[in-house]
Structure 1
Amino acid sequence: SIGAGARAIGMGGAYTAVADDVYAPYWNPAGIVQTPHFGFTFGAGYQGNLEKLSNVEDAISNEQMPNQEDMNQSYLLNAYIGFTTRYFALSSYGDFQLKTIMDDTKNIAAGTNLTGEGYGVATIAFVANEYLAIGINFKKVVAAYGEVSLPPFPTDASKFSTYQATVSYNTGTGTAFDLGTLVRLTPDLTMGLVAHNVFSQINSEAGTTNTYSLDYSDSNNLKLTDNPTSSPFSHSIELPKTYDLGLAYRPFETTTLAADIESINNTSDDQIRIHLGMEQTALWDVIALRLGCFTNKGASMGYTAGLGFQLWALGTNLAYVKDEEGQTYLGTCDIYF
């Protein structure tokens, strides 16, 4: 997932103990107690190499096989909309990932994996005492998975009849919960602790695999048949479980320094990530500059930057991320009243 909120992403995702805006439900549900009376936001983000995607599209339009380097890519999209009050919030967001694959070792000429998750979230929070706030997210989840496998067309005519390409998909629905706390250690130092997607349960529905054979009636113009055969398909859909511990320090009224440790579990790439970030505001908080970085398992460090503008009730934030997965762009618009 890219994450939600350009301000948080611009700070390297070190937001567990900051979480004081309309994106608090996503990062730490306890954080909504720090927000103004009412807030509304919408935002979107994208990650991926557009140049390589364009190369793939050009190759396909010219009826050519794309280059392997252009094909082995990952693309992410997300969107978020939310309404927040100091003790209650409603939000909805979705993540969509597309992986394009070309793998000679698996005899795949072209393939894709698609995953999508949509969340409807209700958040409640309360202040236990002057040092402690607690928040809970109740989440309704809709998830989908799909995969496409297209082996290269055989050159040996004896293998025409055994050729198969497949398209498989299934969906699931369920519930999940986030539990978050904020602890004010000193007037300038805050600690946050969050468990995401605890007690989650996704019920996968019966899926389908459509299998396409080869139409070789014209050996000079091989193509897939128009009438696939269908069979059951099963793919277990699991939500990642993450645990975050963060600190936020404000040495000056206009400066925020933050650090998070994130444990990602229940995925194919479980890992521990470190997030570091800072924010500096100026001109009576009209302008904000942000920088951050984060670790990535088996890859070099990722770097982030962000810019924010706040004019009366309207706020606009932009963020940019550069890591080995590609480049990420996020933009959000917030209204407080």
Structure 2
Amino acid sequence: MIVLIERKEKRRILKILRGSSHLLSLTARLSMIVAVLGVATGLFSSVYGGLAGIPSAFVDIGYGARPMGMGGAYVALADDINTILWNPAGLTRLAGREITFMYADQMGLVPYYFAAYGQSFWQNHAHGEAIIHSGDEVLSETTLLAAYGYTPEGVLGPPLDRLRLGATFKVRLSSFGDNSDGGEERSRGDGFGFGLDLGAQWRATDKLILGVLARDILNTVSYNNEARGEKYSESVPSSLVLGLSTSASERLLFALDLEKSLYADTDDIIHFGAEWILLDPLTLRVGFSQNIGPEIYRSYSLGLGVRHDFRVGMGFRFDFAYIFNEVRDTSRVSTTLIF
């Protein structure tokens, strides 16, 4: 009897030690990731430091009703077709093929359209294509995107098998001054440029995912003003976004992003969001974002999603987001076909 008790006690101690070892290993990995991200942030800031200039062309208004319903906290969570814009590493999390379309009337002034398609292939690979169009004959902007995602899951051992990588290449086109009522002296011409996003996601535990996105790490746009005979170039501001998402339960998850400023004239921005599956077809979302600077600007968002499955592997999703901000409230409407 004494021997059996001793054996049980030894087993209990071994379980505790193994659990502690696993926790220490996870803590060490997370500490290493934080250190690497800290170094990367410092390097990015030193390379891109200075003034962003904040050009008004090709402004990222936030695309996709689901991400915007969560306050833009989506870098680690990205697992649907919106991942093309938010973190291409999430493309390999697509269960099948997805097509989406989004419309936004920004500030009641400028219409924006976003359409995308994506799918997984060859088990560890995925691709996606998208188009963004905005404006009118006075100023029209179009962005074409091609994204690729890869995961070494099943190829490499832990912890690399929980890593996902992705890249999005962008071609930017613009035209301005096509309106006939502007007179002969109006500025008119066109622009052409490119951009590159690099992203990664890592599943630290079954309930915790970490993400990072280097948005427009390389980019430039060249303009040709035909009326004035001028040519010039400018860049879209780059940014580094660090994020995490965690599942409190099967129906409730939270996401947090830090959009790190790389310039002296822009602020860091915090994004927070939550998603709750109220019923199987109905999902509710709430979000919040705020800059970190001398003048505080906040925005709040509410969102909902409704999904209907026609059969296994085929369904339709409708998403809506309403964003409250200090200038003027806006909304996003998205429809997605999954097949």
Query: TM-score, normalised to structure 1's length?
Result: 0.70
1:283 aligns with 279
Cα distance in 2 for residues equivalent to 1:269 and 1:172: 25
| Counterpart position of 1:213 | none
Q: Name the Cα RMSD after superposition.
A: 2.7
1:59-116 superposed Cα distances (whole Å, 9 cap, x missing partner): xxxxxxxxxxxxxxxx443211111102111111134499xxxxxxxxxxxxxxx765
- Percent identity reads 27
How much does 1:183 deviate?
Answer: 0.8
Instruction: Give the unaligned 5+ runs of structure 2.
Output: 1-59, 121-125, 153-159, 310-314
Alignment-derived partner of residue 57 in structure 2? none
Partners of 2:208 and 2:70 lie apart in 1 by 17
Residue 208 (structure 2) pairs with residue 189 (structure 1) = yes
Among 136, 140, 147, the residue aligned to 2:167 = 136
In structure 2, C-alpha distance between the alignment counterparts of 1:270 and 1:145, rounded to whole Å: 27
Code of the residue aligned with 1:197 in structure 2: it is D
Instruction: Give runs of aligned pairs for residues 49-88 of structure 1, distance below 5 A.
Output: 50=108, 75-86=109-120, 87-88=126-127
Deviation of 1:234 (Å): 4.8
Deviation of 1:170 (Å): 3.6
Match of 2:241 in 1: 244
2:116 is the alignment partner of 1:119: no
Q: Secondary structure at the match of 2:75?
A: coil
1:322 matched residue in structure 2: 324
SS class of match (2:187) = strand
Question: Structure 1, residues 242-288: CA drift from partner, whole Å, max 9, x if none?
Answer: 2111110111111110010113557x96221110000001222x101
**Cα distance in 1 for residues equivalent to 2:296 and 2:139:** 23
C-alpha distance in 1 between matches for 2:106 and 2:113: 12
In the alignment, residue 314 of structure 1 is paired with which amino acid? Answer: F
Structure 1 counterpart of 2:278, one-letter code? A
Q: Unpaired segments of 5 or more residues in structure 1?
A: 51-74, 99-113, 149-163, 210-230
Distance in 1 separating the partners of 2:238 and 2:111: 20
State the 1:20 CA deviation.
0.7
Mark the CA change 1:238 to 1:166 in structure 2 (over 3 Å): closer, same or farther: farther
* 1:92 equivalent in alignment to 2:116: no
The CA distance in 2 between the partners of 1:233 and 1:280, in whole Å, is 52
Per-residue CA deviations over 1:195-224 (Å, capped at 9, x if unaligned) read 11122132222x045xxxxxxxxxxxxxxx
Tell me how far 1:174 sits from its aligned partner.
Answer: 1.9
SS in 2 for 1:130: helix
Contact kept in structure 1, 2:222 and 2:231, CA below 8 Å: no
Any idea what SS the aligned residue of 1:187 has? coil
Amino acid at match of 1:325: V
Q: Is structure 2 residue 287 aligned with structure 1 residue 292?
A: yes
1:130–1:256 Cα change, 3 Å: same
Contact preservation (8 Å) 2:127, 2:146: yes
Which amino acid in the other structure matches residue 252 of structure 1? Answer: S
Mapping of residues 1-337 of structure 1, within 5 Å? 1-48=60-107, 50=108, 75-86=109-120, 87-96=126-135, 116-128=140-152, 129-144=160-175, 167-205=186-224, 207-209=225-227, 231-234=228-231, 236-264=233-261, 270-284=266-280, 286-296=281-291, 298-312=295-309, 313-337=315-339
Using the TM superposition, give the Cα deviation of residue 169 of structure 1 relative to its aligned residue in structure 2, in angstroms: 3.6
Assess, with a 3 A threshold, how the Cα gap between structure 1 residues 117 and 192 changes in structure 2: closer, same or farther. farther
How far did residue 144 of structure 1 move?
A: 4.4
Distance in structure 1 (CA, Å) of the matches to 2:176 and 2:76: 33
Residues in 2 aligned to 1:145 and 1:281: alpha-carbon distance in whole angstroms:
44
One-letter code of the match for 2:337?
I
Q: CA deviation at 1:2?
A: 1.9
Structure showing the higher strand proportion among its residues: 1
Report deviation, 1:5: 0.5
Residues 325 and 237 from structure 1, CA distance in 2 versus in 1: closer, same or farther, beyond 3 angstroms?
farther
Alpha-carbon offset, residue 43 of structure 1: 0.8
Q: CA 1:271–1:76 in structure 2 vs 1: closer, same or farther (change >3 Å)? A: farther
Conservation of the 8 A alpha-carbon contact between 1:79 and 1:93:
yes
Cα distance, 1:125–1:183 mapped onto 2, change above 3 Å: same
Q: Secondary structure at the residue paired with 1:177?
A: strand
Shift in Å at residue 147 of structure 1?
12
Q: Could you tell me how far 1:168 is from its partner in structure 2?
A: 2.1
1:305 Cα deviation (Å)?
0.5
